[in-house]
Structure 1
Amino acid sequence: MAVTHVVSFSWVEGTTPETVEGIRSALQEWIDRREGLDGLVSWIGGPDLGLADGNAHFAVSATFTDQTAYERYRDHPEHRRIIAEQIAPLIASRSAVQFSHS
């Protein structure tokens, strides 16, 4: 059963578009290497387009072949490093969901 992970963030005030692009770029570069990410089917992430009031500022959607593949992604050392160094210090709020599907 495939698993999709969706996470959205709102940043603390003063977070610049350049900083957000640095986060997106770091995540994308890691994903593009595919090292240790067996079972990753798709990954996309980026800043909100500002089309509706009240939206989060940034989101990631990733689909995996199964729960084990998602957990590998979630716990991957490079993912944990990017979160700790670049994302966590700027989070005002975070929401996530993982759901299964065929």
Structure 2
Amino acid sequence: MAVTHVVMFTWVDGTTPETVENLRSRLQDWIDRGEGLDGLTAWYAGTDLGLAAGNAEFAVSGTFVDQPAYERYRDHPEHRAIISEHIAPHIAVRSAVQFAH
């Protein structure tokens, strides 16, 4: 059973578009290398288009062949480092969901 992971962020005041692009780029570079990401079938990240009031400012969506593949992604040391060094310092609000399909 496939698993999709969606995480949404609202940034702390003062987080610049350049900062957001830097963290998106770091994530994308890691995804593009694919090291340790067996079972990842789709991955997207981007800034909200501003089409509706109240939206989060940024989101990441990944789809995996199964739960173990998602857990490898979630726990991967490079993923954890990107989160702790480049994402966490800018988070005001974070929300996530994982669902099976």
* TM bracket, shorter-chain basis: over 0.9
Q: Name the counterpart of 1:34.
A: 34
Counting matched residue pairs gives 101
How much identity, in percent, do the aligned residues show? 76
- Post-superposition Cα deviations, 1:8-60, rounded to whole Å, max 9, x if no partner, equal 00000010000000011000000000000000000000111111111100000
How large is the Cα RMSD of the aligned pairs? 0.4
Q: TM-score, normalised by structure 2?
A: 0.99
Query: What is the alpha-carbon distance in structure 2 between the residues aligned to residue 61 and residue 13 of structure 1?
Result: 24
Map 1:1-102 → 2, pairs under 5 A: 1-101=1-101
What amino acid does structure 2 have at the position aligned with 1:32?
D
Q: TM-score, normalised by structure 1?
A: 0.98
Please list every run of 5 or more consecutive structure 1 residues that lacks an aligned counterpart in the other structure: none
Query: What is the alpha-carbon distance in structure 1 between the residues aligned to residue 26 and residue 49 of structure 2?
Result: 20
